[in-house]
A and B are shown apart, each in its own frame.
Chain A
């Protein structure tokens, strides 16, 4: 009789296996300093660009009467929070693509790893990659423009959480599409999130959008986050209604993202795509 015979199977969800997958992606990241630099590069460049635009618009709009001038750093906050959404989505998609590029799915899913554990690891890595990318940019905004996004206080954590969760939902949708259509759909990882940018009202209020587009915007958690951010910056008030909408919509989007991913994963097992993945 083998030592494991008759043993009670291990728990359905194992944090250790989640940790193993996080370790796998961490090894990859730490093994290449250009990769770490690249994570912080774009958020920092974007922050500097929008910071100067913010300064220019504030100084050229009547010395304080203009919209931007009334809310110091509103565009810097917007670009940093937008990057949370973008990096959150990219973090899930890129970690997944690493497995496709290295043709590793076959090994992973003959191990005891479960899809839910893998998804949790993808999300954990997304959080790490986002923090590595956005924190240096947020820190540099202080000496560059005398503006600290951290001055938003605790609501910043709520904005961050809602945007990264929406990023994860999008990431899972993209993973599902790549599982379904193969590496031909790889490019979606870099472009899909930008479809949301105009209707997320990142740099302008939802009211700027045409009337027919406003309901579309308000169906996105991101639009509620950016509306809430502007209310906090301009009026110093926390709009609980926007926060509640963002949380509620995120629950729907996340449930949808998980359902689509699990369906695509099941279909990949039907079609044999787990063993034939890769370029």
Chain B
């Protein structure tokens, strides 16, 4: 049972980073009883107003991390604070101020785009729901298919609808899991531009998991590199390029992905000490 945070706690929360995770760990049981550690004691601080990229290969632990930050998945160990609010105790106090989008979590197919957005607008407690849906439809170029079933849209259209749902409540924190996956370059560029403008307009914090290094270089102030459930490096894209002596973030990604375990862990220890 959760209780309401005190006024003092809310006041302190205003000074806190957008995301603070400490010792965040997730272990899943396996049939052989040994278990698998998907996320291994990561500690992360994401400043307010920043755009941070969460990078790593398949199975590195990005989606598991995002799920724990959202409260969809309970950590085995560690703590998560979102906008200064302890997610374990007061999750529902902060959920109206954040949102999430992923191509792998769909909106109901048989509802029209307008119906889906209307339902979520009410869930987020918005006033003037019709106007909000109409405005978002205009901003995200959804008007042409607002009354079509969501399941019948193209991948690009679905992504824009998912983004509209994620922006309904003008979130202070936006978590995006591969926001431009499987989109053509034109649509992907359109989404990135929209996200840049949204951040400039609202000062929102964005955490995005992506496999697209050009996207990360373009959007992100900071990068968290994950491998085997751990954060093995972090920093501004330019700092990472300089540290690895590379021209592109993709080369840095490959260096990290292909490096022997001992080198990666040594880098992590140095980073932690720093």
Q: Give A contacts to B, CB under 8 Å.
A: 1-2, 4-10, 12, 14, 16-17, 19-21, 23-24, 27-28, 31-32, 98-99, 102-104, 106-114, 266, 269-272, 274-275
Complex CA distance for A10 and B105, rounded to whole angstroms: 26
Interface residues on B, range: 35 or more
Complex CA distance for A270 and B115, rounded to whole angstroms: 31
Q: Which A residue sits closest to B85, measured CB to CB?
A: A9
Give the shortest distance, in Å, between A87 (CB) and chain B (any CB): 21
Q: Given known contacts A27-B111, A269-B74, is B165 in contact with A107 (CB within 8 Å)? A: yes
Give the shortest distance, in Å, between A275 (CB) and chain B (any CB): 5
CB-CB under 8 A from B74, the residues of chain A are: 266, 269-270
Complex CA distance for A19 and B99, rounded to whole angstroms: 20
Contact A106 B95 (CB under 8 A): no
Which of B4, B108, B115, B125 is in CB contact (< 8 Å) with A112?
Answer: B125
Contact B93 A20 (CB under 8 A): no
Q: Given known contacts A2-B97, A4-B97, A107-B165, is B90 in contact with A9 (CB within 8 Å)? A: yes
Task: Determine, out of B116-124, B209-217, B233-241, the stretch whose residues face the partner at the interface.
Answer: B116-124
Contact B107 A102 (CB under 8 A): yes
Subset of 17 A-B contacts with CB under 8 Å: A2-B97, A9-B92, A9-B93, A21-B119, A21-B123, A24-B108, A102-B109, A110-B72, A112-B123, A112-B124, A112-B125, A266-B74, A269-B74, A272-B28, A272-B67, A274-B73, A275-B72
The B87-137 residues at the A interface (CB cut-off 8 A) are 90, 92-93, 95-100, 102, 105-112, 115, 118-120, 122-125
Complex CA distance for A7 and B14, rounded to whole angstroms: 10
Q: Given known contacts A2-B172, A6-B11, is B105 in contact with A275 (CB within 8 Å)? A: yes
CB-CB under 8 A from A104, the residues of chain B are: 105-108
Interface residue? B10 (CB, 8 A): yes
Q: Given known contacts A20-B123, A271-B28, is B96 in contact with A4 (CB within 8 Å)? A: yes
CB-CB under 8 A from B159, the residues of chain A are: none
Give the shortest distance, in Å, between A267 (CB) and chain B (any CB): 9
Interface centre among A111, A266, A270, A275 (most CB of B within 10 A): A111
CB-CB under 8 A from A32, the residues of chain B are: 110
Contact A106 B105 (CB under 8 A): yes
Complex CA distance for A24 and B95, rounded to whole angstroms: 20
Contact A20 B119 (CB under 8 A): yes
Contact B14 A17 (CB under 8 A): no
Interface residue? B57 (CB, 8 A): no
Q: Which B residue sits closest to A35, measured CB to CB?
A: B110
CB-CB under 8 A from B64, the residues of chain A are: 272
Complex CA distance for A127 and B83, rounded to whole angstroms: 39
Complex CA distance for A247 and B123, rounded to whole angstroms: 33
Interface residue? B70 (CB, 8 A): yes
Contact B99 A28 (CB under 8 A): no
Q: Given known contacts A2-B97, A106-B105, is B123 in contact with A17 (CB within 8 Å)? A: yes
Contact A103 B122 (CB under 8 A): no
CB-CB under 8 A from A109, the residues of chain B are: 71-72
Contact A103 B105 (CB under 8 A): yes
Interface centre among A32, A98, A102 (most CB of B within 10 A): A102
CB-CB under 8 A from B4, the residues of chain A are: 8-9
Interface residue? B5 (CB, 8 A): yes
CB-CB under 8 A from B122, the residues of chain A are: 16-17, 19-20, 23
Complex CA distance for A254 and B64, rounded to whole angstroms: 34
Which of A6, A99, A111 is in CB contact (< 8 Å) with B95?
Answer: A111
